[in-house]
A and B are shown apart, each in its own frame.
Chain A
Amino acid sequence: RDFNERCAQCSEVNWGLTDGGRFYCRSCHNVTERTREVVNADFVSNGRIQTISKGLRKQEKTDGGCEWYVCEGFQLVLKKQAEALEALGVCPQMKDEILCNFWRLYLQKSKQAYCNRPARETVKALSVCDSSTDVDSEPERPSVLHFLSLSESEGDLQTDCSFASSTSKFSESTSVCSGSVDGSLYLMKNQKDKLRMTMPMTLSFCYMALLWLREPMTLSDLLRFVVEGHIPYLNAFQHFPEKMKLCGLDLKIFCVESWPVYEEVYSKMLELAAFLDLPRFPDITDSCFLHPDMLCMKYLMEANLPDELHNWTCRVVKKICIGEVDFLTLVPGNKSTRNVKYDVLAAAVIVVVLKLLFLLDDHYEWLLSDFAEERNKNNKEGGPYFEFKKWYKVIKCSLDVEQKKLDEERAKYLWRCEKPLFYSAEKKSKVLKRRQMVVNLQNQFGKLSGSVRPAEKPSPSSFQLRWSEENTDGSCFHGHSLKGILQEKCGLLTAMNPDYWLCTVKLCTEKLCGHLAHYREVDFPQSYHFVLRLFSFLLRIQPSYIHDEVCAIEHKLFNKKLCKKPKYNTGVRK
């Protein structure tokens, strides 16, 4: 407090103390090298308390807010997300046990709670994951933690702090820069080793819990539900209670301005699992939804492909051993195994099978289709033979329609919500005014738009495209037979196509560039691109991700041939 130098960055004299006893400028968060001299032990141990002269009690009176910590905010978000998932049909265990405990474990590991803090802090435990959302609720309820290895925690869990108390807070100026107590510090600290929580990470948590429980929801499903609005994410903070005021730096933490990206959520999930030192996840066996055989079935149905193709996908899965329990089950921290993206994998398998049967070189598949058409003319008994051409027409039509709808929805996406956000109290009136103007304009032009705005969200569903065999227009291909394109050899039906082309001869090193291959639409046949596009739409990911996976599968599949004589493969293309 006696430190009266001007800050190097902003020239203010407004100093606070960090954890490490260093001075930092409250205005611009510039941390200096100057440290407080330790005068006596008492002083040091109460150092924190001393620097917080007035505390937040003052704030409580003026705007009805309360103190809250960033991780409390995230906790609320997770809770809401878990509730939404439960409403979608996920078992309640996920919310009450799994997610809850993962979160607690995380708090402990990142030393935000459930740990031994330096003795100078007093305790105000907060009950986690019970039904109350009230931050000011009664202090701690003892909760049984299934997954924490007690040997790691120090001391008695009940008396140790879970959250820092109201008396040990940061200086009042941080609370001006953010509604939360530790907002600015949260962003400031270098938390690489502690895995700082972010909004996309909430989805990583959810997915991790879903995976643990082996729920029938893939990551792409989860992310799609988020975008469709069935799972709180975008403006999740609007579920915070009134008392939890958001402003300033909180916005950077809780306000999302972009959709979650598959890769990001997935890789964070892996990091998280390793960080939490989780053991091997429950086994993914062939009766699980996430097993490639199951997922292939689902995607085949959705892609309106014949059921008979399932035999082929199973064969491929078996051949390259990707249906093995050990391959599919997640073992956190194990860097030697390649981590499995179940949805992408299944889609890639289907693509490979299509390539096996139809070649997809913009030439052969059409010939084969004509051939099947010919055979169909003489085909009186049983189901019709599958014709690629017909399938292509139907799917292209639907895909174009759906894609167009999706593109329009994207253009109409609304990012803002009712709850106003402002960086500081001075900006509040401006923000509110703007909001009012936006609402007025929406009303005015809404009336002129003539159409009724659909107020309802589309109901969530696992299938985006549906095909029914009851349709007499013949647009459903599930029951079609592959006989038209297969030939008999030694009593077995095999593909007529003897050729195959590899997507890439050599796989890239993932570590260098993050990808196994580099997909460019122009380099590949249009039929191949079309198939990628189809699954890209269903999974809401870039075609290149599926392409990467296809490359990986092909290399496994033709591994022997590749190793023997690289020139053996016909029709190799880059």
Chain B
Amino acid sequence: SSHEHKLNFKKSKEVCLSYIQDAMLQKQWKRAAEFLTFYVEALEKDYSTEYMGPSEMIWRIGTEILCHHSHSSVKEFNSFIEQMKTSGVKRYLKVCLEHAFHLLCNGLIEEAYQILSLAESWRFGEQTAIQDKEMKLIQAYRGLLDYYSWSKQKTILLEHGQDGFEDLSVEQEMHNCFRKAAVNLKEIIKIPGVWDLFVKCYVDLLEFYGDHNEARQVLNEYAYNSKFPANPNAHVYLYQFLKRHGESKKSLISALKILHDIVPSHELMIDFNTMLQKSKKRKRRRLGLEVIFAVLDYAGWKENVKAWSCLARQVKQIVISEKDLDWIKQEWNSRKDWWPAFHFSRYLAKRNWQENESLAYEKALVAGILLGKDCKYFKYVSHQGCKAQVKRFRILKKFVNKHNPVCLRISG
């Protein structure tokens, strides 16, 4: 029975907590605040060995309420958080960090910076060593804010430079920020983890000051060090860097190859395919075909004209040359059972034709090649296209008809 007449302190506070929870889930912030006032005395009995004790509860709940409550101000939030900092020394740095995040979310960058600096100077016996990770994060974010300042000053400098003004103090300040930022950012990215933002900023700094080697090394580490979690973005950053610096096709391709393995549907795959198609090496062209087919396996790309046009171009090329037809066969083998329904249904034919003629065109070309001139999609679209007297559809029709025997060989 839920109406338990025996009640003790612990149970009473549990019940109170469930009321707070309900109120929060229903976004009744006033009510949540009301019950929180009755819950806070649980602090006086905080001998918790539980996973989450009263003081942590109060911190998290209080934060939520203050974030959402219409009458709460940043000042109130600050005063609340300061109290939370003193209530649990084991959480001190975590609270500081979240405090800083909150301020950043509210656009109070200066204040956030102060909080982080203050936290950095915190020492508390053996706790300092225990909370080492949080400390690194705090330093990293402070580094990030230093980067942000640096970036602002760089902009000012460049503007002034354009106007012909020189500003030594700004420049000096800028270099200061750079040093501070670099030190901290470098530290954090040594630790295995996902540090996209930090890496980007650090690389930006390094590039500006011309330290390309260091930058490359950082990016390589980030992408290839197995201790770090698999992160597609790492490869993207590396690729972009290599491209910026005009690196060889080989290195670009190897960077993107890994990306293809991890995220076949990545948007860079289009560039990848384009690059590979143009290549003189057979192996690369083969890979290109694989890449573009893989992209179109994903629903998000179904209506992407560019993707279809890449595929269309490549298969057309192959059909015309009548070489390497087995490539298409290989790719088509695992797809012939489901691609027709997925991409080339009659319904889609109608819809594509109505909504996007170019899309219909490219798809029709692919369909005609893969499924032959008698497939629903091709028939419908080409018919519509010819009816509308669009030139390219007539050409398309002729092309497919002409190469039909070859196409039939593909479909087997």
Give A residues with C-beta under 8 Å from B.
257-259, 261-262, 403, 407-408, 410-416, 431, 434-435, 437-438, 440-442, 444-451, 453, 521, 533, 536-537, 540-543
Contact = CB atoms under 8 A, between A and B. Distances in A.
A491 to B, nearest CB: 45
Nearest to B87: A437
Nearest to A449: B34
B44 A438 contact: yes
A446 B40 CA distance: 11
Given A259-B6, A434-B44, A435-B44, A410 B12 contact: yes
Contact of B8 (A258, A448, A521, A541): A258
Contact of B12 (A261, A413, A446, A543): A413
A60 B9 CA distance: 34
A442 B36 CA distance: 8
Given A414-B41, A431-B44, A435-B44, A448 B71 contact: yes
A403 B3 CA distance: 8
Contact of A437 (B29, B38, B83): B83
Contacts of A540: 5
B238 to A, nearest CB: 49
A410 B15 contact: yes
Interface in B28-58: 29-31, 33-38, 40-41, 43-44, 46, 58
Contact of A448 (B29, B40, B86): B29
B97 to A, nearest CB: 21
Contacts, number: 111
B80 interface: yes
Ranked nearest first, the 3 interchain pairs of A and B with the lowest CB-CB distance are A258-B8, A449-B34, A448-B33
Given A410-B12, A448-B66, A450-B30, 11 more contacts: A258-B7, A259-B7, A262-B5, A411-B38, A415-B12, A434-B87, A437-B87, A445-B65, A447-B71, A448-B69, A451-B34
A542 B1 contact: yes
Contacts of B37: 441-442, 445-446, 449, 453
B233 interface: no
Interface centre among B12, B35, B65, B69 (most CB of A within 10 A): B12
Contact of B38 (A413, A536, A543): A413
Contact of B3 (A413, A416, A537): A537
A453 B34 CA distance: 9
5 contacts: A258-B8, A410-B12, A414-B41, A445-B33, A451-B34
Interface of B: 1, 3, 5-10, 12, 15-16, 18-19, 29-31, 33-38, 40-41, 43-44, 46, 58, 62, 65-66, 69, 71-72, 76, 79-80, 83, 86-87
A411 B8 CA distance: 11
Nearest to A451: B34
A442 B42 CA distance: 12
Nearest to A442: B37
B95 to A, nearest CB: 14
A412 B9 contact: no
Contacts of B15: 407, 410-411
Nearest to A261: B6
Contacts of A262: 5
Interface centre among A413, A448, A453 (most CB of B within 10 A): A448
A416 B41 contact: yes
B43 A438 contact: yes
A449 B30 contact: yes
B44 A416 contact: yes
B43 A437 contact: yes
B18 to A, nearest CB: 8
Contacts of B7: 258-259, 410, 413
B62 A441 contact: yes
A535 B112 CA distance: 58
Contact of B40 (A408, A441, A536, A541): A441
B72 A448 contact: yes
A484 B40 CA distance: 55
Contacts of A441: 36-37, 40, 43, 58, 62, 80, 83
A185 to B, nearest CB: 25
Contacts of A410: 7, 12, 15
Contact of B19 (A259, A411, A414, A431): A411
Given A412-B38, A438-B43, A444 B76 contact: yes
A537 B4 CA distance: 10
Contacts of B10: 257
Contacts of A541: 5
A536 B3 CA distance: 9
A38 B66 CA distance: 70
B41 A521 contact: no
A442 to B, nearest CB: 5
Contacts of A543: 1
B36 A434 contact: no
A448 B68 CA distance: 11
Contacts of A449: 30-31, 33-34, 36-37
Contacts of B34: 445-446, 449-451
B129 to A, nearest CB: 24
Contacts of A435: 44
Contacts of B36: 441, 445, 449
A257 B6 CA distance: 11
Contacts of A412: 16, 35, 38
A545 to B, nearest CB: 9
Nearest to B15: A411
A489 B401 CA distance: 103
B58 to A, nearest CB: 7
Interface centre among B40, B58, B66, B83 (most CB of A within 10 A): B40
A103 B410 CA distance: 105
B54 to A, nearest CB: 10
A257 B1 contact: no
A155 B5 CA distance: 48
B5 A411 contact: no
A542 B37 CA distance: 29
A408 B19 CA distance: 8
Interface centre among B3, B37, B76 (most CB of A within 10 A): B37
B5 A542 contact: yes
Contacts of B87: 434, 437
Contacts of A403: 3
Contacts of B6: 258-259, 261
Interface centre among B8, B10, B41, B72 (most CB of A within 10 A): B41
Contacts of B71: 447-448
B279 to A, nearest CB: 65
B6 to A, nearest CB: 6
B92 to A, nearest CB: 15
Nearest to B31: A449
Nearest to B61: A445
Contacts of B31: 449
A457 to B, nearest CB: 15
